[in-house]
Homo-oligomer: A and B are copies of this chain.
Amino acid sequence: MPTEFSPEIEITAFAWVPPFARGQVRDLRVRWALEEIGLPYRTRLLGGERPADYFEEQPWGQVPAFREGEVRLFESGAIVLHIGEKDERLLPREAPARGRAICWLIAALNSVEPSLGALVEIDLFAGDAAWAKLARPGKVTQLAGRLAPLETRMAQRDWLEDRFTVGDLMMIAVLRSLTDQRLREAHPALAAYIARGEARPAFQRALAAQLADFIPDPL
């Protein structure tokens, strides 16, 4: 929950993005984690032109970057892990369950998001490029191979392990960018899993806060 006080935690976010990106920018992941454990934060909004020193905070000029006292972080995965360390509701304390939560967080970032991002790139950014049309079927097949074991797993359970953790938070945040309708329909258990995550009050608060921070479109 963003507040008018001055919370110790600050995250960066964008002041404006095109409509298709709203609700997808990666500060949402961090806002969601903070909302799950009720930690207040403030946002520092960045315009299209980043201040030169922002690249000290985030090597590629992206969001979010995170500050909490001496702790300066970038990469939504690292920030969500850091927040998870604060509260066992996000990250179990016992080594076996803790380890599993971290496996799924990393799996979302390294085994699912690259394939999903390749399809998103084609569908949202490649326009009519010839390579994109030729490459798309192969990218769909690769992504389907990534989704298949998750679909099987989630047909039998509500969360990736016994209860919601940072692993689910990150996996759902990644899977939400699956806009291909045919793939969504082919993976009903994943669609239900995404909906289950999005129904969490903390997710709803995080989403509303991200959307509220965008300045209006120019007329």
Q: How many copies does the complex hold?
A: 2
A99 sits at the interface (CB 8 A): yes
Binds B, one of A9-17, A30-38, A77-85, A201-209: A77-85
Complex partner residue of A96 from B71, B132, B145, B153, CB under 8 angstroms: B71
- Residues in B whose Cβ lies below 8 Å from that of A77: 106, 109-110
Chain B residues positioned under 8 Å from A135 (CB to CB): 131-132, 135
Chain B hits for A105, CB < 8 A: 78
- CB proximity of A142 to chain B, nearest CB, Å: 9
Q: Does A103 contact B (CB under 8 A)?
A: yes
| Contact across chains for B149 and A59 when beta carbons are under 8 A apart | yes
Q: Which B residues touch A48, using CB under 8 A? A: none
The segment from A111-119, A175-183, A185-193, A210-218 found at the interface with B is A111-119
If A78-B99, A113-B114 touch, whether A107 touches B138 (CB-CB below 8 Å) is no
Please determine whether A99 and B71 come into contact, CB atoms closer than 8 angstroms: yes
Contact of A75 among B111, B134, B138, B149 (CB under 8 A): B111
Give the docked Cα–Cα distance between A130 and B153 (Å).
36
Complexed CA–CA distance, A70 and B98 (Å): 11
Closest to A70 in B: B96
Query: B residues within 8 A CB of A81?
Result: 102, 106
A146 at the interface (CB under 8 A from B): yes
A→B interface (CB under 8 Å): 55, 59-60, 70-75, 77-78, 81-82, 95-96, 99-100, 102-103, 105-107, 109-111, 113-114, 117-118, 129-132, 134-135, 138, 145-146, 149-150, 153
Would you list the 5 A-B pairs with minimal beta carbon distance, nearest first? A131-B134, A131-B135, A59-B149, A114-B114, A77-B106
Contact sample, A vs B, 21 pairs, CB 8 Å cutoff: A59-B107, A60-B111, A60-B146, A72-B96, A72-B99, A75-B110, A77-B109, A78-B99, A78-B103, A78-B105, A81-B102, A82-B102, A106-B109, A109-B109, A109-B110, A110-B110, A113-B114, A130-B134, A131-B132, A131-B135, A134-B134
